[in-house]
A = this chain, B = another copy of it.
Amino acid sequence: MATIKDIAKQAGVSISTVSYALNGSPKVTPETTERILAIAKELNYIPNAAARSLKTRETKIIGIFLTDFSGAFYGDLLQGTKETLTRKGYELIVCSGKQSHWMLPERMIDGAIILDVTFDSEDLIRYADRGHKLVVLDRELAHPNINQVLLDNKAGATLATEYLIEEGHREIYAVTGPGSSYDSKQRLQAVMQVVERTAGVQLHVIEGDFNKEGGELAAKAIMAGRRDGQAAAAVFCFNDEMAIGMMNYIAEHHSDIQVGEHIHIIGFDNMELASYSQPRLSTIDYSKRKWGALAAEQLVKLINSDAVENERIYVTLLKGKSVGTSK
């Protein structure tokens, strides 16, 4: 393991000269620089990240913290984040689980993007208080060292609900995420707002979990409560995963019931899996790549102490055959 010391010895210069040359400083003559670079290559010199960051107090690494690695959802988001960070000279690492949180306070990473409801807000604030820079994608958190890049949940939920109503549905089920989820709370609030200002609409709220099982359980509950001949039900699942779970459950246990005809389902996220559903799931779409890219951008600004404002990701309604008109 050659160090700058070895290079210095070999080149007959001091370590500071080597350091300058290696970093392309104009203080060193081109000739010496070249000579030093040649020796460095010859000795297979590789800098030591720990030593560098001990001194510079930065690692040029950004961490993104996810609830799990399941990934069905995050692909494009990570891609967007990575692209932007690469352009800005940062590396991206993906972390998951409480054990990994130390990387932030111990300065293994220069900043973090949070998309993990299991990450305590109090911890985040503590880190921010210590000067660490954060971007949160899953909660509201007002702090000079924290920036928010949030989905426009209200718009999305409003679009979804209004769509169901426009199609003539009057009995609407909302399958939420876990109670602790910020996104879920926002969406539910918007749904209730829409329902309240529309006469004759009945809303049933079912607590879900953002997983397939939640969708299945909700499906079970809904089917159990319905009698033959009753008006078709319309269900707004607060994410696609639950919507898919619901569709699966229905296909499996109620072959006589057709989604988009006897029961109508709309999701949220437009994940890849949704495009394979039969019939095509109606959902709320937004650019995950852009979300990630914007988060990265904001984080870098925060690190550079540039001024930042909280940002919002806009959403659109994507109509699929899983929602039909009420007869």
Contact = CB atoms under 8 A, between A and B. Distances in A.
Nearest to A49: B106
Contacts of A108: 49-50, 59, 61
A51 to B, nearest CB: 5
Interface of A: 1, 44, 46-51, 53-54, 59, 61, 63, 68-72, 74-75, 78-79, 82, 86, 91-97, 99-100, 102-103, 105-108, 130, 244, 248, 272-273, 276-278
Contacts of A68: 75, 79
Given A273-B273, A277-B276, A278-B278, A103 B91 contact: yes
A197 to B, nearest CB: 37
Nearest to A56: B50
Contact of A91 (B92, B100, B277, B278): B100
Given A50-B107, A74-B71, A91-B103, A44 B130 contact: yes
Given A50-B108, A71-B71, 5 more contacts: A46-B130, A49-B103, A72-B272, A91-B95, A276-B277
B71 A70 contact: yes
Contacts of A82: 69, 96-97
Contact of A276 (B50, B105, B107, B276): B276
